[in-house]
Structures are given as C-alpha cells and as structure tokens.
A and B are shown apart, each in its own frame.
Chain A
Amino acid sequence: MNGPFSLRHPLDGAVSAYPAVNANHVTIYPEPQAISVCALQGEEAAVAATLDALAGDGLRRVGPGEWLLVKHRADSALLSDIKAKTGASALVTDQSNGRVILTIEGPDCRAILAKIVPVDLHPDAYPVGHSGNVFFAHVSAGLARIGTDRFEISLMRSFALFAFEELMEMGLEFDLTAGFAT
C-alpha cells in the first residue's frame, strides 16, 4: 500500500560487523509497529481497558495515561482499530517510523544493560512485563522486560545509530552480536 518506495532503516549497514548469532544477541525489527496513545483527562481508565483488549503483550506504559504499543512486525490494522475504538478520548499517533525497536537477549543482557541504563533491572525491581522510560546511553529510550533474560528497547530513530553503537560497545566483553529479524 506504500507503493514502490523502499524502506530505509537507520541501522541499515550497522550490523554487518556481527555475522554470527551468539548467546547474547540483539535482534532489530525492520518494520515494527509503534503507536503512541495519550488518553485525555478523565478517559484514562476507559482507554486503558480498550488498549488491554487490543494490544496483547505489546502495551508499554510511558507516563500517566500514556502508552506506547509495540508490535515487532507491522500491523497497520491495529492503528486504525485503536483510532476507531478510542475515538475522541485519546491522541493516537503512529510512531512506527519514529522508533527503532530491538530486543536484547542472553545470559549477560542484564550486565550489558547495567552499563547503559541507570535503573535497577533485578527481577524483583523490574519484573517481566515491566516497562519504563529510561536514560539509555545519554538518550531517552523505552525499556520493557519481555523475558527473564530478554528486554525490548525502543529508541528514537534519530538517536538509534548512536545508541545502538553504544550498546554493542558495552556488549563487547560478552561477545554480543546483532542482526535484523528475518
């Protein structure tokens, strides 16, 4: 539906240094879906209920009455669905092009993230399902724990290459690799 236009991902070319897939690995999703939803005052509960029903496990809280819905693969029907169901009660914007979504997994992912993220990622403090806005190598990012040893990171597109390179640098001692999801 988007014609003949080819997509340009900000991390195109950045992963060529990592041909392997090691135990500690970063997966980049080439065409994710990210939708920002901000509920108007008084509509928070209703919007939350709508999103819970629609978003499955991709709902990330980013502020009071504010969410980012993340799907690792494009799902444009979801955008229109949410717009239709929230109607005049929320600001719904597509951020799929504005966010770079990646996951880091592996036995040392917490040790790697400890060098980038100042928040406590101990399972007691940051359990599976938890998400938040964090300081990530000098820039702002969304961080969600989606498994015991698996985190999802959403970066602003313009900062993505910088932040990705920082992440890989910090993963050096743990043989961190990276690649696009196929």
Chain B
Amino acid sequence: MTGFRLTSGGLIDRSRPVSFSFDGKTFKGFEGDTLASALIANDQLLVGRSFKYHRPRGVLTAGSSEPNALVTIGTGPRSEPNTRATVAELYGGLTSRSQNRWPSLNVDIGSLNSLLSPFLGAGFYYKTFMWPKAFWEKVYEPFIRMAAGLGKLTLERDPDRYEKAWAHCDLLVVGAGPAGLAAALKAGRAGLRVILADEDFQPGGSLLSVAATIGGTPAALYAKTVLDELKSLANVTLMPRTTVFGWYDDNVFGAVEKVQKHVAEPSHAKPVERLWRVVARHAILATGAIERPLVFGGNDRPGVMTASAVSTYLNRYGVSPGEKVAVFTNGGTGYRTARDLKAAGIEVAAIVDTRASATDRAPEGVRVMLNAAIVDTKGGKRIKGIVVERAGFEEEIECDALAVSGGWSPVIHLACQRGAKPVWSDEKQAFLAPQSDARLTVAGSAAGLETLTEALADGAAKAEAVIAALGKTAAAEAALAVEDVAYSRHQPVWYVGGARSKAFVDYQNDVHVKDLALAEREAYSSIELSKRYTTSGMATDQGKIANVNATGIIASMKGVSPADVGTTTFRPFYTPVSLGTIAGTSRDRHGRPIRRSPLHGWAEKNGASFVEAGLWYRSSYFLKAGEKTWREACDREVLNVRANAGICDVSTLGKIEIFGPDAAEFLNRLYCNPMLKLPVGKARYGLMLREDGMVHDDGTLSRLAPDHFFMTTTTSMAGEVLSHMEFYHQAYWPELKLRFVSVSDQWAQMSIAGPKSRAILQKLVDADLSDDGFPFLAAREVRLKAGLSVRLFRISFSGELAYELAVPASYGEAVADLVMAEGAEFGLQPYGLEALNVLRIEKGHVTHAELNGTVTPDDAGFGKMMGMSKPDFVGKQLSSRFGLTAADRLQLVGLKPLDPKNEIRAGAHLLKEGAEPSMANDQGIVTSNCFSPVLGHPVALALLKSGRERIGETIIVFDRLRGDEFPATVCSPVFVDPDNLKLKGAVDEPAAPQRKEAAE
C-alpha cells in the first residue's frame, strides 16, 4: 500500500542521489526527479490541504497544470510559496513545506471547515455582504481571511537578482515534445534562426513518458538524439526551463527562464530568473494537451491521479504511486496507463470504463468493467478503494491509487490570449484555437491530434510552411516509423452521476459539481459569471484542469453543446510569474533612470542636498556649519543673492539649437510673442502656447547668428518642447527650411546672480561687461581669460543683476570652481533650488506651478506680450475665443497674510470674506508660496478670479485639509523691486518681462 521507486527504468540519474526535506523530514531522491516524483517515491502522497475545506490532497498531475501539490520551497528570504511540486526540479538541500494546514499536514484544525461546507457553497462570500450587515467586519471577514489561503509570503528582502533580456528569431517553437522537436529540427536544418523553448528542465515532452518507439528507437532516446542535433546547430537556441507565458502585439512573446531555481545557493553573478521578450517572425505552438480528470464522487482523495501522470511517474521517473492501481476512463488512453502499469510489474486492480464497448485491449489478466462508473472512493488521507456502480449493482474494489482519464484538452492558452475565442470541435470533443494570426500556428496535440505519428508529421509540416513563407527550402525527409499502440477516442462524460461524496471540478479552489448547479439555479450560469460566482478556474492554475470540465458540466446542465457555453477568457500569464522577474533589475537605484547634471560633483563637494526633480537630481540647498534646517540655508542663500551674489546650477534646462534660413519664421510661429526681429546677440523671454491657447512652456530664445538660434526650455518640459517642435515642423510646416537638435547635455550652465555678479564675472571674462558692452539680455559667445570659449547670457530669474554662463559640460565643474574662487572676495555662495524658488516668488516670476495647463498668457500677466498682429502662431486662433477672454478668469496675483504668522500654503483655495466654502464661491487657488527672508513674512502667488482688479482686497485663504482659514491681502505678484531697478541697464527692451533662469 505504498508509493515506491521501481528498481529500474526512468530517466532519473540513479547514480546521483540527492537528499531533500518536506515538512522537516529528510527524504532521498535522484537527479532528474521533480519534488513530486521524489515525494511519491517516498510514499508521501499527501502533500497539501485544499483552499476552502482543508481536505487532504495529493499530487494529481505530473506537469504545470497541477492544482493540488502546492508547496513552499526554500527558507528565509528565499522561501517561495505556492510552488507546484510537479514542476519543481529536485536538487540537493531542497527544503519544502506543505501549506494551508495547522498544526500539521496530518492533523489540520482547519479541516473542520468541511463541516461548515453547507454554508461555504458557491457565492457564499458574496452572500456574506448581504446580511447581517454588522457581521461582515466582525465575523465573516476575519473568518474568511483566517480559513482560506495558500502559502505565506516572506516579508524579507529577496536576496537574488532578476534580469530581462530580448531574443529574436525566425521561428519560436513553444514546447519540445514530439511536434515541437519535429518543427525545430525541420526549421533548424533549413537554416532558420530557431528558438525552442520548453518549460521542463528536460525537453522532450510526452516522448519522455511514453513506451512507444520512433524509427526503432525508444521515444525518450529519440528525443535526446534530436536535441543533440539541435544543440549542434549554431542557428538553433535551446531554452529549457523556459515557460512562454504570453503572446503580445507584433508577435512578441514573453517567457520566463528559471536560471537558478534548481540550485541550493544561487550565484550572485547570475539571475535566478530571467524574463525574455522573444521577437519572433513566426511561432509554432506545440504545447501539447492536458488530460482531464473525470468528475466523480470522492475524486480528490490523495492517490487519485490523471492516468497520463501515472504513466509519466512510471516511465520518466521510475516511480509508482501504488502497488495496486485502478484505472477509471472513458477513452483509450486509460488503457495505455494500464499497460504501462502492467509493464512495470504493478497490479492493475481493474479498468473501470464508462463506455458500453471498447476496442482497446486491456493487458492480459486485467479485469475490465464496461458501462461502469466510480461513485465514491474509500480512505482518508489516501485512497484505499473505489465504489464501482454498474446498472444499479455496487461493488467495492480495493486499490491504493487510481489513474483517471477523462479526455484531452489541447493547450491553446497562448493562441487565445489576444482576443481569439477557442472553437469547440464536436469531432475532437475539445476546444481548439482558431487561426487568428498567420504568424502563429498550432501543431501536434495542441491542435487536437492524437497519435505520435500525427504529431511528428504535423510539427514538421507546420515548420515547412514557415520555411516556405520565409523563402527558404526544407530538405525532403522520409517520416520515421512510429511503433505505438492505437487507442480509441474518449466518449464524453462530463459528470459521473450518482456521486456519494463531493465531486470536484476545480481542485485548487474547492469547487464541486453542486457549486456549479447552485450557480445555474441562481442564474449565474453564463460561463464568465459562473466562473466568478463559484471561483471555478480562478485559482493560480487558472483552471487548467477545471475549465473544460466546468464548461462541459454547465452545457450538460443546460442541455446544450459545450460550443454554446464557450470558455472563459485566456489572459497572460500561462503559469504564475514571480514579481521579481517582472521587476527585473528595476528596483532600488535601478528603478528608473537617474540624470545627473555636469555640475553634480561641484554641488556635492560644496555640501549640496539633492532633490529628485523628474529624473534629475538637483541641488536643493547647501547647508553651512551651524545650520540645522533647509530653511536656514535657504534664507541665507536668498539674502546673499540679494546682497552679494550667488551661483546656481541651471544645467538641467532644456537646450535646443535651431538653424536654417527659415529658423526665425519657424520660431516666430512657435512662440506667441514676436521673435522674427530678435537682434543677433540678444536673448528674449518667450511663451509657447498649445493650440488651445494655454501656455505650453516658457523659456528664452537667443539669436547667435541670423540663421542660428539657441533656445532654453524649462527642465520638466525639455522633451515635450522638442516633440512639439518636431510635430509642427514635420506635420504643419515641412516647407520651412531649418533643422534643430537638442544640446541639453553638451552644456553646463550656471547662473551667477546678485549685485556683485558683474564684478565677479569681469574678473573671469575677456569682454566688456558694462551695461554698454554687455547690456541686459545680451547673449553671445565670449572667452574666459583662462582660455575657454563659453556662452554668456545676461538674463535674470531672481530679479537681480544676473548672468547665465554656459560652458562645455566637461569643463563645468572646473569653471564653477574658478567662479567660486574668484567670487569669494565678493561673498559669492552657492544657492540651490529652494532659494531659486524663493527668489522667483519674491519677484513674481511664474513656473509650471502657475503655468499649469489652464493658464493663458494674459492670466499670467503676459497679455501684452502676445503678437496678435503676427499672421499666425500656435494658439492664436483659440486665444480669442469667448472663454479665454472672459473678465472673470483666474489671474496671477500676490498674497500677503494679514497676520505674518500665517503661512499661506500652495493648494489652498480663496474665498470672499463671509462666503461659505463651496465650489460656487471658490475664488481661486494658491499656486506657490514661501517665506520671504527679504520681507520677513510669508508670501504667495495665486490665481484669483479677476485678480488684477482686486489688488488691496482682503480675501480668505481656506484649506480644510490642513485646517487653514485666515485673511490675506491681495497684492501685486512682484514683491521685490517692482521697478526693476536692480536689473539696471534694462533699457533697450523695457516692455519685455524679465526672464527666468530655471523652473522646477
């Protein structure tokens, strides 16, 4: 009465024993075993407890469709729950544990759930929502959470590495069984770039499990010969341990390769799993077929297995699940397993066949019971016998394992992931994949073929079609003779009537026939509804075992064909994929690209704290000795810029060079303000609009030569602006002769701002920087006295006398060092993004906090800049529409709190005094705020309805989230130097607003 290892046979390496543990007990297996085969060899048939009723469960299959044998493998941070023991490659030191039981697998308190099963039927979960209301939180949910479940995740950090990779091929063959090998061989010999992927660690598929011979060679040996030849072909890549899990657009397939899941201590140099994206010109799906169990009373007792699984354990692993095995079948392949059992010297208790007659020959001396059915099984934690019913006569037959064959379901998962619905074939009694894309064909038993001969021929034929489609020729080869016994078809039996105990359809989710019946009664009988109501097919195995049976049973209940019921929707992933694999290297600092300014090193050595701004790391503030908070540093930096001078890294601005005879015309159409006549050697602030009249971005444009311009954008919109330009040039004005290119990374750019900036730069620059020699908004190439060509712009975002100095990026740090050294005597200090923000708010300059996509130039106070006399510019047409010229639009204003202790915070809403807070009474929103060290109190910028008419009004700053409600005075947005006296020399373009150095 035991599962045991046969004395000979199988593809395991008996010279290499390995020891492993299960629930603390140490066992021996061999190299080539799966955890499941090794457990069966050690008579450990009970491997888990079921999800809902905690019923004892054993191994059901020998492959990736396994619903029962889910175990936790590994310990500590490497423990991985819900691993299918049937596909887990055995290795020395493997540690495994059963799941969903307490205190032990043998004695499980949770099995009391079985007593509650009348209340745990289909939809019970949804019904708990209904009544009584208070029960959900206090009773139902805690109970359900405690009782239901799978393995437990470790919360420790995964110590292993994961990777992603791309592969390209002419032909991807999924599955290395008979059809897949034949296809790969044919295509490989014809010179195609072939990838052959198989989920198993040993390719060969069913060839490893059948007793047939091919060309006189045993099937498993034949597989090895073919694999050896494929390995020798440079144009063929074999990918064992690789599950193709998804089919995506453009014939790209997703696959996961288990690189180091079969070793005790993974090497750090390699990933444990690798995600492949396989770009295939063609693909052949040779994924085989899954054998369905029959649905009968007591069909989940440990020791009940699919017949093909029994054959696989016998032939491939040299393991028998019992000493006296019964077979229950409705078709020919049940007899095949009986033969395999007999050949291995195992007693066959009986073949119970539901059919009235069968052409299949039973092994000699084996009792065949036709027209018979199993209505119950005996035993507790493993099967001890079956109750067979024939025409009202019941008989109990002793056995210690039961092989069940209910027919074959082609594995068409991948072929149906992109919308194609499986098609029911009455002839094959199976759902087949329709041809939905010429680049994917299905071959072998995945296409519904039944014999080895057919599968081999079909694989080769499908490959020949691909070879021809690619314009190559395949060598003609004679087919090899296959020696195999012919078996008859299965006669559909979706449900074996007369069940004495639960007849399970979905083992993993504990769904039995009565659940489907309840769903039918309660009108949840459409297959997609039934799935969700009963949870049949919703477990981690996605119903590989359950779905077709569920369809067949529902069809029978309704009295229609399975074709009328259909299937649920197939979606990736075919089998579970770990989150680590999907993340790949994208974790921690590899999580997203990091952009560094060429002045990063300079900022670092000057004590900068960095802040992430988009992908950039920007210097935020520079703490000095004695300063504890960012505010202290920021206030000092601001005051120093206003009193002396500061240097700030603005390299992150987008920088674009534009060149060509029509460059000026192009830019004139792109910006809303006039740019056509911008003089050479001058810079100008500019606003780009979107077509809808809203501000897209702001920046500066400098004219280096009549046909050569240099543009800066904000940091965050650099990429967008380049795309915007490409779009208008390519789609609207391709006739304009110009080209442009990003030079953002070529230049390190620093702003030197403050009343002493000119004096500092004059020490460095070999040019006259007086107001005459280099007036406000001058922009041109100059030379540093130390000998370097640089670009100098006299532009200001702080409102101070200020310059921007652009130098080739590699020299940025050295030049910044020099500026710091020369500026020391003038009190020059570095300042960061925080101070930059305070300086611009004090000066009333806008950033994307204000230009938020709903703001027009006029809203932001730039109405007069718009060149409405220009024939056209992007955004002109819609700028004059009614809503955009309304008098009550939100306009930029400044705010000062009446009580200087009140901080006005961005995000707060504005209300009239005495008005109830409501959407209707909303007057606007605070966009930016800071503490002004110059004024000594908080200030803010806001967008306020008809704001410019309301200067002097008292308004309520309202922010319920943060509990703010206090009065503030509406004022001009320019808090510091409203007459631009500090800019000096700003005489040649008095109307042009000053320009900014940067935005966040």
Contact = CB atoms under 8 A, between A and B. Distances in A.
A159 B808 contact: no
B786 interface: yes
B809 A91 contact: no
Contact of B809 (A93, A97, A119): A97
A41 B161 CA distance: 49
B735 to A, nearest CB: 8
A98 interface: yes
Interface stretch (B139-147, B541-549, B691-699, B740-748): B740-748
B661 A97 contact: no
Contact of B585 (A7, A39, A97, A169): A169
A131 B635 CA distance: 51
Nearest to A99: B745
Say which size band chain A's interface belongs to. 35 or more
A36 B598 CA distance: 20
A158 B746 contact: no
A10 B811 CA distance: 11
Q: For the side of the interface on B, what is the size category?
A: 35 or more
A97 B593 contact: no
A93 to B, nearest CB: 5
A38 B729 CA distance: 14
Interface string A1-16: 1111111111010000
Contacts of B813: 8
Nearest to A42: B737
A88 B660 CA distance: 7
Interface stretch (A20-28, A52-60, A110-118, A145-153): A110-118
A166 B279 CA distance: 22
A4 B786 contact: yes
B613 to A, nearest CB: 12
B277 interface: yes
Nearest to A163: B593
A38 B811 contact: no
Contacts of B277: 118
Given A5-B815, A170-B163, A38 B788 contact: no
A50 to B, nearest CB: 15
Interface in A91-137: 91, 93-99, 114-115, 117-120, 122, 125, 137
B164 interface: yes
Contact of A10 (B598, B737, B814): B598
Interface stretch (B165-173, B769-777, B932-940, B956-964): B165-173
A122 B168 contact: yes
Given A5-B788, A97-B810, A36 B741 contact: yes
Contact of A91 (B161, B269, B585, B660): B660
B406 to A, nearest CB: 43
A70 B661 CA distance: 27
B899 interface: no
A34 to B, nearest CB: 9
A97 B747 contact: yes
A157 B745 contact: yes
A40 interface: yes
B270 interface: yes
Contact of B743 (A42, A65, A98, A166): A98
B590 interface: yes
Nearest to A157: B745
B450 interface: no
A5 B593 contact: no
A6 B745 CA distance: 18
A117 to B, nearest CB: 7
B737 A5 contact: no
Contact of B746 (A5, A10, A94, A125): A94
A35 to B, nearest CB: 11
A180 interface: no
Given A95-B746, A98-B809, A120-B168, A161 B737 contact: no
A36 B745 CA distance: 13
Interface in A140-182: 156-159, 161-163, 165-166, 169-170, 172-173, 175
Contacts of B268: 172
A5 B786 contact: yes
A45 interface: no
A117 B778 CA distance: 44
Contacts of B744: 98, 156, 158
Q: Closest 8 A-B residue pairs measured CB to CB?
A: A3-B787, A98-B746, A98-B745, A91-B659, A38-B739, A120-B168, A3-B786, A5-B814
5 contacts: A40-B738, A90-B659, A96-B746, A98-B746, A165-B589
Given A114-B167, A169-B585, 17 more contacts: A2-B788, A8-B810, A41-B737, A88-B661, A91-B739, A97-B747, A114-B165, A119-B166, A120-B168, A157-B598, A157-B746, A162-B595, A166-B585, A169-B590, A172-B161, A172-B268, A173-B271
